[in-house]
Every structure is written in C-alpha cells, then in structure tokens.
Amino acid sequence: MTSPQPTTTPVTHEDASPLIEVRDVVKAFGNRTILNGISFDVPRGETMVIMGGSGCGKSTLLRHLIGSLKPDSGSIKLFGEETTGMNEEGLDSIRRRFGVLFQSGALLQSLTVGENVALPIQEHGRVDDAIVDLVIKMKLEMVGLTGFEDLKPAEISGGMKKRVALARALALDPELLFSDEPTSGLDPVMTAVVDKLTQDLTRKLGMTAVVVTHDMTSAFRIGTRMIMLGTGDRQGKIIAEGTPEEIMNHPDPMLQQFIKGEADGPIPLRLSKGDYLKRLLGEAQP
Amino acid sequence: MKYYLQLNGKILYWLLVAPWRKQSFKFSQVVAQVNRIGVDALPMVALTSFSIGLTLAMQGAHELQRMGAAMYVPNLVAVSLLRELGPLLIAIIVIGRSGSAITAELGTMKVSEEIEALGVMAINPVRFLIVPRFVAMLIMLPILTVFGNYIGIVGGWTICHFALDMDTAAYVLRSIEAAQLGDLYSGLIKSAVFAWLIVTIACQAGLQVEDGAEGVGTATTRSVVFSLLAILVANAILTGLFFFF
C-alpha cells in the first residue's frame, strides 16, 4: 500500500535539470590545494550563497564557474554544457547568458558610468542608440543611480561603483547572475536595496543567482540554498550545504562560529601554528 | 616569445578574419586612438624634427662650407631625414609617448580585473583593446614620419636661408632634386615596421602584468627598452636590405 505522495516541490520549472552542476572540482596553485573536491548543484531559480572565511577559495570557485580558471580535475556544467574543456568561442556563447559582478566592480575606467552599462548591449547586438539610452536609464534606476551616467568611475564612491557594476551585470537581462561580495562597501540601506533587487529578480523573474559573501545578514536574506567552504584542515571542501534553516541549525562548530561571528573557536584566533615565542625570537631565546 | 607570436596571430585574426565572420572591432575606437597616438603627438614631433633639421643643416654647413660645397646642405638634410633620421626619431618619440602609455594603461586594466571582466562579458580583449591601438599605430606612425620629414626640411631651410643666404626656391629645388621617391618609400617601410614592433611589444608587456603597481612599472620600462632595442636592430636590418638590394 502506498499513501499518496505529498507534493514537496513547491516550484516546478519546465527544465528540471540544474542550471549549474559542479562535480569534484580540484584546483591547486603550486602545492597549495585551494579547492579539494567541490560538488554541488544550483537548480534553476534558486539563489545559492557561497560562504566561507578569507582564503577558503570562494572567489577561486566563482572564477571556475565563470570560466576564468580551469580546474585541475572535475567537471563544471553551465546550462547543461560542460565548460571545463571548452574553447573561447564556446565559452563566449555561454558567457552571453550570464552576468558577473566582480568584487572590485571592474568597471572600465576610461568609460563613463553610462558607457560601462551600455557596453554589453552595444557589443552583443545591433540596438538603436535611443533604446540603449533607455536601457541604461532603467538599469541605473534599479540600483538607485539615476543621473550619474556621465561621471567616470573614478569620480564616484566605492559603493556606487559596485552598484554600477551590478547594473552592467544585469544589462543583458541574464538568466544567471554571479556576484562576488555584492554588498561589501555598501551602507546598510544600500545593502538592503541590492538584496531586495536580487530577491525580486530571482523570485519574480526566475533568475538564478550565485552569490559569494561573508555578510551573514545579507546571506540569510537572499539565500535559498547555501554552502559553506572550510578552512584549515578542511581547506577546499564543502563543510555544510542546505537551506538557510538547515544551515542555521547545523551542528558544525566551525559553521556556527562563522554565523555568529565569534573571534575564537574552531577557527583559531591565531592562525599560525607552532611556538609563538620561538617564532618571535628565533633560536636565540634565553 | 611564444606568447608574443600568439598575440600577433590573434591581432591578425581579429583584424583580418573575424570582421567577415562575426564581430568587428569598433571604428570609433580606432579614431580615438588615432587622436591619442597621432594627433596629440604633432607638437612634440614638430619641435623635435625642426631641431634635428636645424642641427643637421648647421653641422653639414660647417663641414661642407670648408670644401665650398655649402649648396649641398639641402641634399644632406633631405636625404638623411627621409631615409634614416625621420623614421627613427619619430619612432623613438612615439615609443616614449604612446608605447609606454599603452603598456601602463593595459597593465593597470589587467591589475584591476578590467581585462578579465571584458573576457567574462564575452568581449574579446584583443578585439576590443588591442586591434584599435594596432590599427591606429600602423596608420599614424608613417603619417607622423612624413609630417616630421617636412618640418625637418623646414628646419634645414631656416639655416640655409638665414645663415647661408640661400634662396628659398633654390633650397626647395635642391631638396626635391636630391630626394628620390625611393628615399621616402624606404623611410615609410621602416616606420611601418617600427609601428608594428612598438605596438605589439607594448601590448604584450601590458597584458602580461601580474603583480600590482610594481608590475605595471616594470612592464612599462621593459616595453620601452625592448621597443627601442627592437627598432634599432630592425633599422639596421632594413637599411642593410635597402643598401644591398
């Protein structure tokens, strides 16, 4: 006898296969292993938050996802296509379907704010200048920067650059958005605005997002799935994965320390090992 | 060296093949670079060429007058400018002005993730950044050279006219008589080769910057030094070719 299955999947999309599939990705720089067998899926429409302490390989992982770095081994599939062995031409056709917000913003300093946002539109299609102009205004309005079109990136603040970079990443209405620390350098109100924007885009328009952050408020606000990367002995491994509730109640002490922001714990206060006095004074100690 | 050859290959691909197949480089960016590399350099080129023309005429007059051959000063000025000094001097000015600027600019863009961001936006950095500079340099260096040659000849004229009491008409006629079309062409071939070397060396140095501000500085120095060496060696080789063939 089987009882009728309760419908546990609240959202059903036409395409059930995950948008991003990462399998056993390993990357080492010299003899330092940064990523050590990372595997996860990001289903369509989800917001995946990648957390972890400094130096845990969050940004490196993101660089692998966007095709800037190639893993030593393992497989990465975007939109169902394997990107690890792809040539530049193939990568370019995939890259047109996603937007990336870099940690530093990475705006072109020689162009104005408006030209920066217009760049992907002008490069990837023959669009009338009037329409480009309209799109620039719409995208800047979204990030609260109307009227800043004619300034150079050097003339605006760090947080504003971040928002311009977000507007540029969204210029082509991508299906998928990667952001590296989208809220660092923003004030609390702007953080909330950017989070709200990400939420609206994912929940209302079905965009998928992968967000690297260590801002816990923001992470729990926007994330629908989360992974935490480990440091120290568990460098380059996923130590926890799940929904925000699962992560919040996860037993792992390192994760709990991270969420609560405590100075000492499983992640030691002093990261360097060995006798402190000996390191300070060398062998010549009394 | 391998990377340098690859870069040359990519430039030629995006310049000659890609425009027919998919995306072309932007003409407006070529114009912007033409202005920066060429038009903005005019005052400096004019001043340098004028002084060199002046100096050549004075030095030449000093020697030639003793042999009673002062009337050959225009020949000396015209031929040495067209064949040798013009292309070389202008190239050196452009290395100092634009070669270094290209390396520093691209290097800074590399350091601040701008070049990576372009790649991730599926905008090929070679098409977007390098090809416009390459085209502008290949157009503008020969033009600057012709311009410099003229100004240099004017520099020579000031000495001949005011110090040697030579007629302006006589100066012009002697110059035209002395300078063969071949002299102009050999100078222009040289300057086209120099342009290629300067812009590719500068771009490669810029794209390979790795370590922050210090890396940009080192790359800029390397770009200038390598460009100078390259054009001096190329100059010797080309002069040899023109001399023997």
> Do B82 and B66 contact (CB within 8 A), yes or no?
no
Closest CA to B134 of B228, B199, B40, B37: B199
Say yes or no: B169 contacts chain A, CB-CB below 8 A. Answer: no
CB–CB of A123 and B120 under 8 A?
Answer: no
Percent above pLDDT 70 for chain B: 100
CB contact (8 A) between residue A109 and residue B120: no
Whether the Cβ atoms of residue B199 and residue B133 lie closer than 8 Å to each other: yes
d(C-alpha A207, C-alpha A178), whole Å: 11
Yes or no: say if A136 and A118 are a contact pair by the CB < 8 Å rule: yes
Q: What is the mean pLDDT of chain B?
A: 92
Predicted pLDDT at B134: 95
Question: What radius of gyration, in Å, describes the C-alpha atoms of chain B?
Answer: 21
| pLDDT bracket for residue A11 (50, 70, 90) | very low
pLDDT above 70 as % of chain A: 91
Statement: residue A116 has pLDDT above 50: yes
pLDDT score, position B137: 96
What is the pTM for the complete model shown? 0.85
pLDDT at A51 over 60: yes
- Looking at the complex, does the CB of residue B33 fall below 8 Å from at least one CB of chain A? no
Q: What is the pLDDT of residue B77?
A: 92
Chain-chain contact of B117 with A119 (C-beta, under 8 angstroms)? no
Contacts of A140 (CB under 8 A, 6+ apart): A113, A114, A117, A146, A148, A149, A164, A167
Average pLDDT over residues B183-212: 93
B17 touches chain A (CB under 8 A): no
Kindly report, residue by residue over B50-65, the tens digit of the pLDDT.
999 999 999 999 888 8
Q: Tell me, what amino acid is at B211?
A: D
pLDDT of res. A273: 61
Chain A positions contacting chain B at CB under 8 Å are: 66-68, 88, 91-93, 95-96, 100, 102-104, 106-110, 119-120, 123-124, 168
B114 to chain A, any CB pair closer than 8 A? The answer is: yes
Contacts with B135 (C-beta within 8 Å, 6 or more apart), sequence order: B15, B25, B30, B33
Prediction ipTM score:
0.80
Residue with tokens 């290097």: B107
Q: Which residue has the tokens 């013009």?
A: B86
Tell me if A119 and B114 make a contact (CB, 8 A cut-off).
no
Q: What's the pLDDT score for residue A9? A: 42
Chain B: closest CA distance from residue A168 (Å): 10
Looking at residue B36, what DSSP letter applies? H
Is residue B1 pLDDT above 90, yes or no?
no
Strands annotated E in chain A: 20-29, 32-42, 47-52, 73-78, 81-82, 98-101, 176-180, 208-212, 225-229, 238-242
For residues A48 and A4, the model is more confident at A48
Return the pLDDT at A272. 61
pLDDT of residue B14: 87
Shortest alpha-carbon distance between residue A95 and chain B (Å): 6
Pick the more confident residue, A230 or B156.
B156
Is the separation of the CB atoms in B98 and B37 below 8 Å?
yes
The pLDDT confidence band at residue A17, using thresholds 50, 70 and 90, is: confident
Which candidate from A68, A96, A106 shows the least CB-CB separation from B122? Answer: A96
Q: Could you say which DSSP state residue A253 is in?
A: H
Closest chain B residue to the Cα of A106, Cα to Cα: B114
Residues of chain B contacting A92 with CB distance shorter than 8 Å: 122, 124
Nearest by Cα to A213 from A27, A49, A31: A49
pLDDT class for B43, splitting at 50, 70, 90? very high
Between CA B215 and CA A150 the distance in angstroms is 31
Residue in this structure with the two tokens 């012709």, named with its chain if needed? B146
B112 contacts A120? CB cut-off 8 A: no
8 A C-beta contact, residue A178 and residue A101: yes
Dihedral angle sign, alpha carbons of residues A215, A220, A221, A224 = positive
The confidence score (pLDDT) of residue A15 equals 56
Distances (CA, A) of A164 to A168, A216, A230, A269, B206: 6, 23, 31, 36, 26
Least confident of A3-17, A19-33, A216-230: A3-17
pLDDT class of A282 with cuts at 50, 70, 90: confident
**Nearest by CB: A106 against B114, B122, B124:** B114
Task: Please tell me whether residue A239 adopts helix, strand or coil conformation.
Answer: strand
Q: Residue B93: which of B51, B125, B64 has the closest Cα?
A: B51
**Candidate from B113, B122, B128 with C-beta closest to A95:** B122
**Residue A6: per-residue pLDDT:** 45
Number of CB pairs, chain A paired with chain B, less than 8 A apart: 50
Mutation target among B36, B121, B133 for the A interface, most CBs of A within 10 A: B121
For B120, which of A100, A119, A123 is closest by C-beta distance? Answer: A100
Q: Which of B119, B123, B128 is the closest to A68 by Cβ?
A: B119
Q: Which of A94, A123, A161, A172 should be substituted to probe chain B, the one whose Cβ sees the most B Cβ atoms within 10 Å?
A: A123
Subunit contact A100:B112, Cβ cutoff 8 A: no
Residue type, position A262, single letter: E
Q: What are A78-89's pLDDT values in tens digits?
A: 998 888 888 888
Mean pLDDT of B190-194: 95
Q: What is the mean pLDDT of the segment spanning B138-156?
A: 94
pLDDT digits (tens, 9 = 90+) for A181-202: 888 888 888 888 888 888 888 8
Contact B121 A68 (CB under 8 A): no
pLDDT at B221 over 90: yes
The predicted-structure confidence for A130-185, as pLDDT tens digits, reads as follows 999 999 999 999 888 888 989 999 999 888 888 899 999 998 889 999 999 888 88
pLDDT of residue A7: 42
Closest CA relative to residue A24, chosen from A237, A180, A240: A237
Q: Residue B116 pLDDT > 50, yes or no?
A: yes
B124 contacts A96? CB cut-off 8 A: no
Measured between beta carbons, the chain B residues lying within 8 angstroms of A66 are 120
Per-residue pLDDT reduced to its tens digit, B157-183: 999 999 888 889 999 998 888 888 888
Residues of A in contact with B105 (CB under 8 A): 110
